[in-house]
Structure 1
């Protein structure tokens, strides 16, 4: 299951307007922002849009996070939901074994939320994967 996607845009307000209108019929809506000043330097400000399941927290859902594009930036950022911390560890190890480039070893990422455990890798073309287990997502 896709947990989340980061979409890099040049104009946050314009992109928010577009995505909110385009996704409204499917029940998606804005739910909040992540302020980069509360986390590590490599995590930018993020603007969240979620599907009804993500918003309600009733079960695992999907989200889109808009971020301001940096000069020369390319590639996709895709969050893959894992059922456990051990699955995050195994997915990370498999990706590194397959030639992935480390962008964050498996660890708790409490700057996002308590119970957020993740690992990050990049492929040779600059696309990024985040393997993530969210302790509160007990049903998919």
Structure 2
């Protein structure tokens, strides 16, 4: 990252001992962050999200793949990430239902293919139902007994 100003010794990131810190500007998104000087000189982005998206300042990609899911750039969407992206499967389900999804609602891929975003392949589940569904499936695959 690009150093802007040296700040001197201070505690950063809940570390016990004070370290020499500097103010850095992220070359990807332009955000200013405080990091230990040595650490900041080695970093290429301000966060993992910024690094994964690989976005240059002021530019964006129409769609990106993060953790196997396709994300679409929609910065005005109420459920958008900090970088302005929304999971495509959530957008497809929202269009199917005619409303925005709540934070506790999950768009589940029926055939478990993360990139298959057809409306008939995506169903609405609560977070708890989705978690128990995958826990039971995993237990069946491992040959464990499940009391239903």
* TM-score category, normalised to shorter length: under 0.3
Q: Which has the higher contact order (CA 8 A, sep 6+)?
A: 1
Greater share of strand residues, 1 or 2?
Answer: 1
TM-score, reference length from structure 2: 0.23
Larger Rg: 2
